[in-house]
Chain A
Amino acid sequence: DGGITQSPKYLFRKEGQNVTLSCEQNLNHDAMYWYRQDPGQGLRLIYYSQIVNDFQKGDIAEGYSVSREKKESFPLTVTSAQKNPTAFYLCASIDQTGGPDTQYFGPGTRLTVL
């Protein structure tokens, strides 16, 4: 089945540690996105990538980093510089080659800082 997978589902981090959230898609989509969701709020864009080896900051990029070495993969690193990292993180991808160009989401990762 085609889709987006995120791992792990739950992640616990000690203060001062960097952690990496995985996002993989087999939809052959060019563009991928990372969003953050806080309780009772909508999603906010952290980073996005429209093509391999290129990515751009979103609205709340401070304290995060990404890479896009492969079309299928767009990992997000939450660094120790992120002051309030406890949140739900969603990865999404979109087909920009003439398809329905709707964003499809992965199941998410819940990050908790201990």
Chain B
Amino acid sequence: AQTVTQSQPEMSVQEAETVTLSCTYDTSESDYYLFWYKQPPSRQMILVIRQEAYKQQNATENRFSVNFQKAAKSFSLKISDSQLGDAAMYFCAYRSGLIQGAQKLVFGQGTRLTINP
């Protein structure tokens, strides 16, 4: 079974600074997807960024980028120019690339990010 581990329960960063959230995962599959979701106080789960395992290029979405290290099974999220609105719980998630399957997401425990003004 696949597992996802986020080793940082809490992180904090000064506004406008850069912060990196860590995520490691364990799988025997070669085809899969990785995601970062943001959960603000409203508790709505919002997709931040996704990465296909077959792509070597790291995904980027505006101020958000990932460092995908397939061999190390590492998938960290970098937030540049942190803003107060970035404060939230961040979840790393894994999904198998198998066409036949549940397409379910396996989540890490989450990292609570605080932005200091």
Report A's interface with B, CB cutoff 8 A. Answer: 31, 33, 35, 40-45, 48, 50, 56, 58, 88, 90, 92, 94, 96, 101-105, 107-108, 110
Bound-complex Cα distance A76 to B4 (A): 26
Whether A42 touches B110, Cβ cut-off 8 Å, given contacts A88-B43, A102-B50, A108-B44, is yes
Bound-complex Cα distance A89 to B93 (A): 17
CB of B60, distance to nearest CB on chain A (Å): 16
Point out the residues of chain A lying under 8 angstroms from B93, CB to CB. Answer: 42
CB of B101, distance to nearest CB on chain A (Å): 9
CB of A109, distance to nearest CB on chain B (Å): 10
- Nearest first, the 7 A-B pairs at minimum CB distance are A42-B107, A105-B45, A43-B107, A45-B104, A108-B43, A42-B109, A107-B44
User: In the bound complex, do residue A40 and residue B110 qualify as a contact, i.e. CB atoms below 8 Å apart?
Assistant: yes
Does B71 sit within 8 A of A, measured CB to CB? no
Point out the residues of chain B lying under 8 angstroms from A94, CB to CB. Answer: 103
Bound-complex Cα distance A41 to B91 (A): 9
Whether A45 touches B103, Cβ cut-off 8 Å, given contacts A104-B47, A105-B45, is no
Bound-complex Cα distance A48 to B102 (A): 7
User: In the bound complex, do residue A90 and residue B45 qualify as a contact, i.e. CB atoms below 8 Å apart?
Assistant: yes
CB of A17, distance to nearest CB on chain B (Å): 24
Bound-complex Cα distance A66 to B104 (A): 16
Bound-complex Cα distance A56 to B102 (A): 8
User: In the bound complex, do residue A41 and residue B47 qualify as a contact, i.e. CB atoms below 8 Å apart?
Assistant: no
Bound-complex Cα distance A43 to B95 (A): 13
Residue of B46, B103, B105, B109 near A40 (CB, 8 A) is B109
User: In the bound complex, do residue B91 and residue A42 qualify as a contact, i.e. CB atoms below 8 Å apart?
Assistant: yes
Point out the residues of chain B lying under 8 angstroms from A33, CB to CB. Answer: 104-105
CB pairs A–B below 8 angstroms (26 shown): A33-B104, A40-B9, A41-B110, A42-B4, A42-B91, A42-B107, A42-B110, A43-B91, A43-B107, A45-B102, A48-B102, A48-B103, A48-B104, A50-B102, A56-B102, A58-B102, A96-B103, A102-B47, A103-B95, A103-B105, A104-B47, A105-B44, A105-B45, A107-B42, A108-B44, A110-B43
